[in-house]
């Protein structure tokens, strides 16, 4: 007689993931749902939230120039940071992909800013950008480039770009490390074959490195986009969004709306639109990369 094989009790697995689900629900799901609920209210953080339906959203889309100004800032900031940070990270990674003493030293050097706190980075760059005594303007004036010595953080035309440059300096090393990990996975045979075929360095990059690094690029771009939307600390420590909100990004706007003006309901609605913007941008990026490069 054949012994009946006992079936494993799968229910135990559900019990095992329960703590993780609980933590996720408590720390992510509940706040997200609460945020959705508060976005439909007018609330100063003290009294009882007053239900206002979709008023916060309609007001933001029809009667809030500041929101669109800041959204525009954020998109420009993200495009600049994503493009330049990715390009620089790839550039450095290509040159530092081999493991030699010099490259390891340089990798450490380029990665170094990443381990600094964002406030420290902000302080360093505040000093460098000082329009009257900062090293950048002093240096430019020394070489007779007075017209390039700008009021970097004090002008509406340059503040956002100055912070974007700081952000790029701050995080390029981190992305470079991700790229190096990706580039080291590319089989050396492909380069050897290309060399045998007489491909130049540029052709090797175009036909081997770039296509093979695309999956890593997709990760770097997605991560950098999200990072650029979350660059709150740098913006807040350097300009608090000024002058005249010219360097404000959505994260600083939401913070100030919630905790400076105590309009928590409105800030909740702003944060929902911020999430929607990030999702749209990330989907567009993914679609472009997929259709163009098949990754």
Among 113, 154, 211, 215, binds another protein (CB under 8 A): 154
Among 23, 36, 66, 104, interactor with another protein by CB under 8 A: 66
What's the helix, strand, coil split of the chain in %, to 5? 75, 0, 25
Q: 192 to 251, contacts with another protein by CB under 8 A?
A: 236, 239-240, 242-245
Of 44 and 192, which has the nearer Cβ to another protein? Answer: 44
Q: Contacts for 89-93 with beta carbons within 8 Å, 24 or more apart? A: 89/172, 89/173, 89/175, 89/176, 89/178, 89/179, 89/220, 90/179, 90/213, 90/217, 92/172, 92/173, 92/176, 92/179, 93/176, 93/179, 93/180, 93/182, 93/183
Report if residue 56 touches another protein, rule: CB under 8 A: yes
Q: Round the CA-based radius of gyration of the chain to a whole number and report it.
A: 24
Rounded CA gap, 172 and 89, in Å?
Answer: 5
Question: Minimum CB separation from another protein for residue 122, in Å?
Answer: 11
User: Which of 32, 124, 128, 256 is in the footprint of another protein by CB under 8 A?
Assistant: 256
Tokens matching residue 58: 């309609």
Nearest distance from C-beta of residue 85 to another protein, angstroms: 25
Residues 113-132 contacting another protein, CB under 8 A: 126-127, 129-132
Q: Which two tokens stand for residue 281?
A: 């941008």
Query: Which CB atom, from 56 or from 74, has the smaller least distance to another protein?
Result: 56
Q: Is 65 in the site for another protein (CB under 8 A)?
A: yes
Pick the closest to residue 56 from 46, 47, 64 (CA basis): 64
Examine residue 175 and tell whether it contacts another protein (CB under 8 A).
no
Single residue of 155, 277, 282, 285 touching another protein by CB under 8 A: 155
Q: Total binding residues for another protein by CB under 8 A? A: 38
Is 88 near another protein (CB under 8 A)? no
70 binds another protein (CB under 8 A): no
Q: Footprint of another protein on residues 18-47 (CB under 8 A)?
A: 44-46
Contact yes or no for 285/221 (Cβ under 8 A)? yes
Q: Does 257 bind another protein (CB under 8 A)?
A: yes
Please state, in angstroms and rounded to a whole number, the distance separating the CA atoms of residues 178 and 158: 30
CB of 131 to another protein, least distance (A): 4
Distance of closest approach, residue 50 Cβ to another protein, in angstroms: 13
Interface positions with another protein (CB under 8 A): 44-46, 56, 59-60, 63-66, 126-127, 129-133, 151-155, 236, 239-240, 242-245, 256-263, 266
């Amino acid at each position: 007689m054949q012994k009946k094989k006992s079936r494993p009790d799968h229910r135990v697995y559900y019990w095992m993931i329960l703590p993780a689900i609980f933590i996720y629900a408590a720390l992510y799901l509940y706040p997200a749902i609460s945020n959705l609920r508060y976005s439909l209210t007018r609330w100063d953080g003290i009294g009882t939230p007053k239900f206002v339906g979709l008023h916060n959203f309609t007001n933001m889309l029809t009667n809030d120039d500041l929101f669109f100004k800041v959204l525009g800032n954020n998109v420009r900031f993200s495009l600049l940071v994503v493009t330049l940070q990715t390009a620089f990270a790839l550039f450095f990674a290509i040159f530092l992909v081999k493991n030699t003493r010099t490259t390891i030293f340089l990798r450490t050097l380029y990665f170094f800013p990443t381990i600094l706190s964002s406030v420290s980075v902000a302080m360093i760059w505040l000093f460098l950008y000082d329009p009257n005594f900062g090293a950048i303007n002093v240096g430019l004036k020394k070489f007779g480039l007075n017209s390039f010595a700008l009021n970097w953080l004090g002008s509406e035309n340059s503040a956002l770009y100055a912070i974007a440059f700081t952000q790029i300096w701050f995080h390029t090393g981190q992305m470079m490390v991700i790229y190096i990990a990706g580039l080291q996975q590319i089989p050396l045979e492909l380069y050897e074959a290309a060399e045998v075929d007489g491909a130049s360095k540029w052709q090797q990059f175009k036909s081997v490195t770039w296509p093979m690094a695309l999956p890593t690029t997709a990760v770097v771009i997605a991560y950098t986009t999200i990072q650029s939307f979350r660059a709150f600390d740098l913006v807040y420590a350097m300009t608090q969004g000024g002058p005249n909100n010219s360097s404000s990004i959505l994260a600083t706007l939401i913070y100030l709306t919630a905790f400076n003006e105590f309009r928590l309901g409105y800030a909740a609605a702003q944060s929902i639109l911020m999430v929607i913007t990030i999702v749209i941008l990330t989907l567009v990026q993914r679609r472009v990369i997929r259709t163009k490069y098949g990754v």
